[in-house]
Structure 1
Amino acid sequence: MRVPLWGVGWDALELVEGVDERPLIERRAVLRGGFYEMQARTVIERVPVEVGIAQRWGVSPYRGCVHACRGCGARAGHLRLGLDAGRDFDTRVVVRPNVVERLRVELARWEGGELAVGVGGDCYQAAESTYRLMPGVMGALAGAGVPFTVYTRSALVARDAALLVRAGARVAVSIAFVDERIRRVVEPGAPSAQARLELVSALVEAGVECRVLMAPVLPLLSDAADQLAATVRRIAAVGARAVEPVVLRLPRATRAWYVEWLARAHPQLVPRYEELYDGVGLPSRDYERRIVEQIEQLCRVYGMACGAPEPARVRPRVAQLSLV
């Protein structure tokens, strides 16, 4: 039976007609200077185990990343904003301008352990030059006595070396391989391996507790014995004291983007990847164990520690760091 038009109240019609079907990012963000500014409701977020790092919780001033690393495990975050996990993640960076304010509120009742900073998008990518959110983030964390590790590929982190030392922060610089031909294809927006090696040297010289996150090791692309040896050797040469190896993870959103590229560039490798990875995107335990053991052996040769660091202890609360 057809309901006559007058059988529906005008309020209900207005409600139906007023539904905003735009993606969340379009409804809640302000586009300014090429960045999407979006007020965060919560900033301390769970880090999935599949990411492969030691910390279970983290904070990210930026979502998305211009480094455009094909194997980045943070891509799924853009799906929740109504964006795609591929090119949108690489080009539409979301800024959380209220991150410091929200972080202070959440830290007041935080009872967890160490936090990871920058896992949703490099916290020292180009947007940080404009917004300068990291000094405030570090000040809030240090003031609350919460230990943290900054994850980055960007030389901009050296700007805050003195603040990092005063905050007692750890920095993990990602250097998975030193072959520039591979880097140009799978990390097209990231600094060269040489630039990152020089960054490690500069941070160590400045007194920052710095380690290298050798991640992600790419199966059948950057995992040959000579490639691993060359990478560990050059990491040791710049004064790094520790290496943390992580084999490529392929959670669903990352997997779709990565395998699409792999099918174009190296179609013969796709069946092997299908054998190596399980349904949640973790590599075969035997394969991962073999790669990690190779890197551990190389680290022993060059006198470096290998593996995830010991959990940092919560420090006594201190006065707010000066941001000047």
Structure 2
Amino acid sequence: MALEAEETVVSVEPLGLEAALYDITTGTGDFIAAGVVSHNCFARRTHEYLDLDSGADFDSKIVVKVNAAERVRRELAAPRWRGEHIAMGTNVDCYQRAEGRYRLMPGILEALRDAANPFSILTKGSLILRDLPLLLEARERTEVGTAVSVGFVDRELWRLVEPGTPAPDRRLEVCAALNEAGIGCGVLMGPVLPYLTDSPQQLEAAVRRIAEAGATSVSAITLHLRPGAREWFLAWLRRHHPELVAAYARLYGGRAYAPREFQDRIAARVRDLAERHGIGHRAPRPIRRPTSAPARRTAPEQLTLPT
């Protein structure tokens, strides 16, 4: 988790969250793993850190840091570490299918629990429920947050856009199970796909289902078309929705992001729907915190996990 001197934050976008985020799974390519074929995944280009390509290699090759738990425990014990919040899954999902074989997360969670270090997890996977006992143990000592990624609930579109991932309704079942157990779980509603999942009816259906799952929060993110993901998503669009190619060219041009006013309009609609469906109105269960909380830095940093 030592910060490389040459690494800097290149952009920051509001996600409706107020915690500083730290990702121990990426940064130098030490823990790069695809495991699923997601045509819209903005993490595709991270494969290039290890001289793999963001296309076929992303879909078929993984690199696993098998001593991740050992390194996390060592870094958390280092005098230089000040107990900042660590966010996992913000670039590559730590509960993808490869985790079922390598079982790295139990050791990582045990290290975070023992250090009483606050953390959060974002996932599309259902495997997180395997580690629910560890999450509950950690919650007794520090702040623990979770979120699932559900951009839309259209099953037919899910099969085309995100093959190999758990279905949206399964992810919402995970959200419900975590909240029922006392681990607060929100939903990152991303990506919202312009002209495919952004109609008032589609947004309403998604937010209603998210509310039914008891989500503590919902934040919408419009599709990013960064290099790597851009080529593969647009190729998918030409195959399955050629009638939208021109509309996407007008909306995005050569940019990675849709115009700000378009993003803001989607985010505002989702906020209004969340308010209407009562998302975030449930009082969270109290968290037992350590008696002496470590000092926190306020600015987020991209961290690496040394060999």
Class of the TM-score when normalised by the shorter of the 2 chains: 0.7 to 0.9
In structure 2, distance between residues paired with 1:137 and 1:178: 31
Where does the alignment leave 5 or more consecutive residues of structure 1 unmatched? Answer: 1-39, 307-311, 319-324
> Are 1:59 and 2:24 matched, yes or no?
yes
For residues 106-141 of structure 1, the C-alpha deviation after alignment (integer angstroms, 9 at most, x for no partner) is 332234742221234221112111111111112223
Aligned to 2:138: 167
Structure 1 residue 179: Cα displacement: 0.5
Which runs of 5 or more structure 2 residues have no equivalent in the other structure? 282-286, 295-307
Matched letter for residue 108 of structure 2: V
Q: Distance in 1 between matches of 2:13 and 2:108?
A: 22
Q: 2:39 aligns with which of 63, 70, 74?
A: 70
153-162 vs 63-72, greater mean Cα deviation: 63-72
Give the counterpart letter for 2:22 in structure 1: W
Point out which structure has higher relative CO (alpha carbons under 8 A, 6+ apart).
Answer: 2
Given the superposition, is the C-alpha separation of residues 48 and 111 from structure 1 closer, same or farther in structure 2, using an over 3 Å criterion? farther
Q: Which residue of 1 aligns with 2:301?
A: none
Tell me how far apart the structure 1 counterparts of residues 13 and 42 of structure 2 sit (CA, whole Å). 6
* Contact residue 145 and residue 183 of structure 2 kept, 8 A: yes
| Correspondent of 1:241 among 204, 207, 216 | 216
Secondary structure of 1:73's match? coil
Matched position secondary structure for 1:270? helix
1:121 aligns with 2:92: yes
> Which residue of structure 2 aligns with residue 103 of structure 1?
72
TM-score after normalising by structure 2: 0.79
Select the structure of larger CA radius of gyration: 1
Indicate conservation of the 8 Å contact 1:51/1:73, yes or no.
no
% of aligned pairs identical? 41
SS in 2 for 1:57: coil
Query: Does 1:286 find its partner at 2:261?
Result: yes
Structure 1, residues 274-296: CA drift from partner, whole Å, max 9, x if none? Answer: 33236551221010011011101
Residue in structure 2 matched with residue 16 of structure 1 by the alignment: none
1:263 aligns with 2:232: no
Q: What is aligned with 2:300?
A: none
Q: Provide closer, same or farther for how the CA distance between residues 104 and 48 of structure 1 changes in structure 2, counting only shifts above 3 A.
A: farther
TM-score with structure 1 setting the length: 0.75
